[in-house]
């Protein structure tokens, strides 16, 4: 994608838009001049070799990189047209609207119920019956309800890895985010669990805007509508998944998806 031909205003259906967005770790420029739009209700896969800045970019969308010392940004990154890195932006509010699922399942050492209810309780007091409803809905949404409905009060740490990851998705869904960021959500899971998560992503697409970082190109082609290929901090190519995987415009993309490097 050519930076110069890119329209500087976000497309009308874009939820997340980056314009000349750069990320620095100290003086090292890890993400370079990104221009991209993630469309509403679509699943966008971000692929690329290790260290290409794809996770860094993803983590900027809900400002998780604030936790990293010496991490700075330039350019614009917008959520529904509002600058994510605006000084007066309420970060907690942003994170509530942009949920995140991490590489390794990270449920809290609390009960399954409390894990899902955690984000909901943040908003303030809520009636128990309403909370029950949200928990059930979220667990159903994450296709976990049937497996855990009898043991909601037992520790989340007793679940299998795949179940834990779906619980983390349910936890993220419980606060009804607009965008769901997934940072290699299946890399720590076995193939069976991976298949379930992929099914879940397919179910969620349309309802949520999803950005998923993955190393697995088959996964990207299976679950995503659009694909962005990152290489050495640059966004090399962005487009419909089918096109990228069948007919990439750039040589690097072709090399990567055919397994020449990465």
CA distance 62 to 44: 16
C-beta of 96 vs 215, nearer to other proteins: 96
| Binding track over 164-203 against other proteins, x by CB under 8 A | ----x--xx--x----------------------------
Place of tokens 């020449």: 260
C-beta pairs of 247-256 under 8 Å, 24+ apart in sequence:
253/229, 256/47, 256/48, 256/49, 256/229, 256/231
C-beta of 15 vs 236, nearer to other proteins: 15
Among the listed ranges 62-70, 124-132, 187-195, 206-214, the one in contact with other proteins (CB under 8 A) is: 62-70
Q: Bridge partners of 77?
A: 18
CB of 156 to other proteins, least distance (A): 11
Beta carbons within 8 Å of 225's beta carbon, 6+ residues apart: 39, 42, 43, 44, 205, 240, 241
CB of 69 to other proteins, least distance (A): 8
Q: Which helix (H) or strand (E) holds 236?
A: strand 234-240
C-beta of 87 vs 123, nearer to other proteins: 123
Residues 139-168 that bind other proteins (CB under 8 A): 155, 168
CB of 100 to other proteins, least distance (A): 4
Residues 69-128 that bind other proteins (CB under 8 A): 69, 92-96, 99-100, 102, 104, 106-110, 118-119, 122
Place of tokens 């983590």: 59
Helix orientation angle between 161-174 and 128-141, rounded to the nearest 10 degrees: 130
Which residues of the shown chain bind other proteins in the complex (CB under 8 A)?
A: 62, 64, 67, 69, 92-96, 99-100, 102, 104, 106-110, 118-119, 122, 155, 168, 171-172, 175
């Amino acid at each position: 994608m050519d930076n110069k031909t890119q329209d500087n205003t976000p497309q009308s259906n874009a939820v997340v838009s980056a314009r000349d967005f750069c990320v620095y770790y100290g003086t090292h420029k890890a993400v370079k001049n990104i221009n991209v739009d993630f469309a509403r209700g679509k699943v966008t896969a971000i692929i690329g070799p290790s260290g290409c800045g794809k996770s860094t970019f993803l983590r900027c969308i809900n400002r998780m990189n604030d936790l990293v010392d010496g991490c700075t940004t330039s350019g614009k990154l917008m959520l529904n047209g509002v600058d994510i890195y605006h000084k007066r932006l309420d970060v907690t509010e942003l994170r509530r609207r942009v949920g995140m699922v991490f590489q390794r399942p990270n449920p809290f050492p609390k009960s399954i119920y409390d894990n899902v209810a955690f984000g909901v309780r943040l908003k303030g007091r809520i009636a128990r019956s309403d909370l029950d409803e949200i928990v059930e809905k979220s667990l159903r949404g994450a296709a976990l309800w049937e497996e855990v409905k009898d043991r909601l009060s037992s520790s989340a740490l007793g679940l299998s890895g795949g179940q834990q990851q779906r619980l983390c998705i349910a936890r993220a869904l419980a606060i009804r985010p607009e965008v769901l960021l997934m940072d290699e959500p299946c890399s720590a899971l076995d193939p069976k669990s991976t298949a379930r998560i992929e099914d879940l992503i397919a179910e969620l697409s349309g309802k949520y805007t999803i950005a998923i970082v993955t190393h697995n190109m088959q996964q990207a082609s299976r679950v995503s509508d659009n694909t962005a290929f990152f290489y050495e901090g640059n966004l090399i190519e962005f487009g419909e998944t089918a096109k990228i995987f069948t007919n990439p415009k750039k040589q690097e993309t072709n090399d990567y998806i055919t397994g020449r490097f990465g």
